[in-house]
């Protein structure tokens, strides 16, 4: 199985801050098969980005993604109050599809 | 509007069985692969099973292989997960998730159900 490791596991930030979350895969994956999700407590995850850098329909442009091979990043350019949540990366390169352990973005 | 509505969760004793259902609407169900993804309390996400659009191909995560069976009824737009030999480690919220694209065999998920809680406890 491909292991996905996110860092940091938790980050504190303020509204207006720029935040970057990193996801590292245990083996090389195609850029086409890396996605990011946002999850709020008690809710299902929501797709933010697929194919490393493609923004899902309806997602704010303050979210962006980049990376290649084993190292990928999610950046939130200017935090808004609704962005405080847990973020997960996911690889769809090979089954079983695996997720990072999550990054909890909390208010400073 | 795409809707995925899970049902069938509840409390079950260790060693018991449970069948989850996911009723889909708002999209052409029979052209999309579907998955079950679970989340143990306070933990991360784990994909446990996947099924192709017409059900001809299935795949399972290692922790459930041989115990869980994913299936679908395209005539009723419904996805299923039969869970047998349940243990405490299977306690989780189970989500059905729709593959974003109809192309290729690589699944990311653009729509998720609200989730259904399965608790394995005596």
pLDDT digits (tens, 9 = 90+) for B52-108: 999 999 999 999 999 999 999 999 999 999 999 999 999 999 999 999 998 888 899
Torsion of CA A7, A31, A34, B20, to 10 degrees: -150
Min Cα–Cα distance to chain B from A71, Å: 18
Judging contacts by C-beta atoms under 8 Å, the chain A residues touching residue B62 are 1, 96
Q: What is the pLDDT of residue B103?
A: 87
pLDDT digits (tens, 9 = 90+) for A86-100: 999 999 999 999 999
pLDDT digits (tens, 9 = 90+) for A24-82: 999 999 999 999 999 999 999 999 999 999 999 999 999 999 999 999 999 999 999 99
Phi then psi for residue B114, to 5 deg, are -80, -15
CB contact under 8 A, B113 and A44: yes
B115 in A contact zone (CB under 8 Å): yes
Taking the C-alpha atoms of residue A56 and residue A72, their distance in angstroms, rounded to an integer, is: 17
Judging contacts by C-beta atoms under 8 Å, the chain B residues touching residue A88 are 44-45
pLDDT at B39 over 90: yes
Average confidence (pLDDT) over B8-22: 98
Q: State which H helix or E strand residue B51 sits in.
A: strand B45-51
Two tokens, residue B58: 């299935």
Taking the C-alpha atoms of residue A38 and residue A28, their distance in angstroms, rounded to an integer, is: 23
β-pair type (B116-120, B92-99): antiparallel
Judging contacts by C-beta atoms under 8 Å, the chain A residues touching residue B50 are 95, 97
Whether the upstream peptide bond of residue B8 has omega within 30° of 0, thus cis, is no
CB contact under 8 A, A50 and B47: no
Distances (CA, A) of A12 to A64, A95, B63, B66, B103: 19, 33, 33, 42, 38
Phi then psi for residue A63, to 5 deg, are -90, 135
């Amino acid at each position: 199985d491909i292991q996905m490791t996110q860092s940091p596991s938790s980050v504190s930030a303020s509204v207006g801050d720029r935040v970057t979350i990193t996801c590292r895969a245990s083996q090389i994956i195609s850029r086409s098969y890396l996605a990011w999700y946002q999850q709020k407590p008690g809710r299902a995850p929501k797709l933010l980005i697929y194919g490393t850098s493609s923004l899902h329909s309806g997602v704010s442009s303050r979210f962006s993604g980049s990376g290649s091979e084993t190292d990928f990043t999610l950046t939130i350019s200017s935090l808004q109050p609704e962005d405080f949540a847990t973020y997960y990366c996911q690889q769809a390169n090979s089954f079983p599809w695996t997720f990072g352990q999550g990054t909890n973005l909390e208010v400073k | 509007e795409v809707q995925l509505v899970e049902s069938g969760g509840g409390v079950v004793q260790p060693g018991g069985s449970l069948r989850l259902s996911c009723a889909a609407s708002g999209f052409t169900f029979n052209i999309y692969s579907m998955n079950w993804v679970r989340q143990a309390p306070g933990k991360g996400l784990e994909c446990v099973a996947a099924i192709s659009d017409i059900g001809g191909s299935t795949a399972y995560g290692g922790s459930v292989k041989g115990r869980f069976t994913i299936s679908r009824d395209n005539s009723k737009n419904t996805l299923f997960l039969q869970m047998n030999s349940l243990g405490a480690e299977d306690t989780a919220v189970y989500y059905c998730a729709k593959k974003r694209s109809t192309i290729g065999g690589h699944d990311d998920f653009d729509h998720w159900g609200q989730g259904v809680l399965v608790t394995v406890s005596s």
